[in-house]
Structure 1
Amino acid sequence: MKYQEDYQIQYADCDETGHVKLQALIDIFMHVSNRQLENSQAGSKEMAMKNQGWVVTQYHMEFKRLPVVAEHVQVVTNPVGYNRFFEYRDFALIADNEEIIKVQSQWVILDLEKRRIVPADSEMMARFGSPLLKKNPQMRRLKKQEYYQQTRQYRVRYDDLDLNHHMTNSHYFSWMEDMLERKFLNTHEPEMVDIKFDKEVLYGQEVTSSLIINEQTSYHLISQGDQVATIAEITWKKRNNE
């Protein structure tokens, strides 16, 4: 069952060029999907009362362009379906009747005490119109690169945490973009993003952000020692006005 809200891009959502930041874009999508879930007693607050939380494990994102400050858009989310452990949800951003961003995502339900995945609740899924799937959507497989050109250390701050008591997924984009040059970010925007969250990162933990760029694609790794926390690939394109 699709759900949609109107939204005006705020100054706080944008970088110094006036284009929406990836971190802010994810936060906008999360807000709208949670509004749909709240209407079915399955939002973050209701889940927390059961010591459970929605956790995204992967995104695939395609961009025609990024919206700009003060632009009016429609934010659409659609629960595509679920299986025993995964729920699949699509998002779209529409401006002037054109779909400018589309997103596929994969989710799990986490037991917040045991920090373990729990099976999907079929009654809850039915309340917001998510059907049981016979065939799962295919999500792209991402591989760790053999080496990376740059590394930088980060620490999970209190401000990074969400209701699941771990690093919120949108903040990973801030760490990854921070590895890129200012001039590059001001003259390029994403064309495609794939990101997979393999291991949660908790308050106070130190992680390493690694980067290698090959032509127009940046490859990112967030790791703790030898353990992969998050892996991502971003394909970039020059801005039309450059």
Structure 2
Amino acid sequence: MTAPDCFTSELALPYSALNTNGRIKADWLLNLFQDAASHQCHGLGISGFDMAQKGFKWVVSQYDIHIHSHPSWLSNLNLSTWRSPWKNLYEVRRFIIAKKDGQPLISATGIWILIKAVNGKPVRLSPHLPDHLMQPPAEPPELFRVSTPLTEYHHEFPIRVRFLDLDLNQHVNNREYLRWAVESLPEPHCFSYTPVRCKIAYLKEGLFGQDLVSRVRLEFTPTGLDTEHAIVHPEKDIELARISISWSPLTETDP
């Protein structure tokens, strides 16, 4: 993948990206991905600001993040991302964070939808994107399907939507849902496990001042811990997001 198809940037992993276990914050990755995607889309003329002038908004539908190996503080890394349409409705974007020698550490797929600003209805991409950007992806994405509500769970974590949780669309930023899911893992597990895969399905928008809950179901496996999280508006009985996280146990050799 070469320019202009692929956008690449360099970074040194900052101290602010590490959690108390010395591992990369999974939710921090979403800000990194968003910034890289926005930078490339700006150059292509299809950024959120560009589409807003035409009466449209980009909204993220799903993320699938694999943390293959955790980078350490000040690691020199390359971030690469590229986009392709799928079914003339979805904007599929791939991300890879790798060492300078090319060894991939983190890979991810994000899926966006273009909606009308006035009513939130999805639109087809081809009437609103240049013809040269309407090329199908090499491989269809693996979708995270939510078929049933999370009725059985072990823990519930209260959430109040704050002003700083909001994005330019005036609803909860996609990063916050993953942060809420990670924070809802109860003690002592939050200090002894680290996320290695995160699948997120964004279902409804969260708004300022809402009182939400993160409901968590835990399942211990031979290799670690799997958790299922539902971000719910309990008064309206509406699920805003579903997150599935696979966790690996920390060891004495971990940072």
Q: Give the TM-score normalised by the residue count of structure 2.
A: 0.86
CA-based RMSD of the aligned residues comes to: 2.2
Return the match for 2:241 from 213, 230, 237: 230
Secondary structure of the equivalent of 2:44? coil
Question: Normalized against structure 1, the TM-score is what?
Answer: 0.90
Residue aligning to 1:212 = 217
Matching residue of 1:146: 151
Which residue of the partner structure matches residue 84 of structure 1?
Answer: 88
Q: How many residues were matched structurally?
A: 241
Q: Aligned to 1:221, which of 230, 235, 247?
A: 230
**d(CA) in 2 for partners of 1:236 and 1:200?**
27
1:49 alignment partner in structure 2: 53
Greater Cα offset, 88-97 or 229-238: 88-97
2:12 to 8, 14, 23: 8
Please state if 1:161 is matched with 2:172.
no
Amino acid at match of 2:240: A
Distance in 1 separating the partners of 2:168 and 2:143 = 26
Paired residue type of 2:238? Q
> Which one of the candidate residues 64, 83, 101 is aligned to 1:60?
64
1:93 matched residue in structure 2:
97
CA distance in 2, matches of 1:57, 1:12: 27
Runs of at least 5 residues in structure 1 that lack an aligned partner in the other structure:
none
Residues 84 and 136 of structure 2 are in contact (CA less than 8 Å); yes or no, is this contact kept in structure 1?
Answer: no
Q: Which secondary structure does the structure 2 equivalent of 1:118 belong to?
A: coil
Q: Structure 1's 50 and 182: CA in aligned 2 closer, same or farther, altered over 3 A?
A: farther
Deviation at 1:218, TM superposition (A): 0.9
Distance change in 2, residues 1:224/1:99 (3 Å):
same
Percent identity of the aligned residues? 21
What does residue 76 of structure 2 align with? 72
The structural deviation recorded for 1:198 is: 0.8
Q: Select 1:192's aligned residue among 197, 220, 236.
A: 197
